[in-house]
Amino acid sequence: MSIDVELNGKAHSFDALDPEMPLLWALRDYAGMTGVKFGCGAGQCGACTVWLDGYPVRSCQLSVEAVAGRAITTIEGLSQDALHPVQQAWVDHDVAQCGYCQAGQIMSAAALLSRNPSPTDADIDIAMGGNICRCGTYGRIKAAIRTASNSFSGSAMFYDAASTTEADA
């Protein structure tokens, strides 16, 4: 059985795998997208966050067959050339400690700014609340989101989520 998706802007087929396999495993073991991480496997930590049609989802909680025909973006595809402004802000603030949670954090932050370029602290807390960092980098994460927000308010570099619906996610 072949399951076709768009992965980081390119057509991709998952072949000869269990269609009920979690998307997380398929991305890591069959598509080589090892930026996405396994943390809890229970939808609680956010380490496995990717975008599905531009919305952040927990890839450990979705089967491959559930995303057939959909657009998936991982940290590897967040920017096609230079660093995405959120990634640059992460570098500027030296956010990462062990780094394990950070791809998921960045995917959630970039999704937030794609549809709300000027978030309040409360907006940030809500959007990032499902991403856990056991190293406690939360202060630097919020500072980096602020920097990215100030640098790229309304930029075309952000994903255009207007053409998708929340229900689809």
Would you tell me which residues interact with ligand FES (CB under 6 A)? Answer: 38-41, 43-48, 58, 60, 96-102, 133-135, 137
**Residue number, 47 or 158, with CB nearest to ligand FES:** 47
- H helix or E strand, kind and range, residue 13: strand 10-15
What are the Cα distances from residue 72, in Å, to 23, 43, 68, 89, 143? 10, 17, 10, 23, 27
For the CB of residue 97, give the shortest distance to ligand FES in the complex, in Å: 4
For the CB of residue 35, give the shortest distance to ligand FES in the complex, in Å: 13
**Residue number, 3 or 103, with CB nearest to ligand FES:** 103
Which residues, 6+ apart, have CB-to-CB distance to 121 below 8 Å? 142
For the CB of residue 31, give the shortest distance to ligand FES in the complex, in Å: 17
**Residue number, 26 or 96, with CB nearest to ligand FES:** 96
Q: Kindly report the backbone phi and psi dihedral angles of residue 10, in degrees, each rounded to the nearest multiple of 5, phi listed first.
A: -125, 150
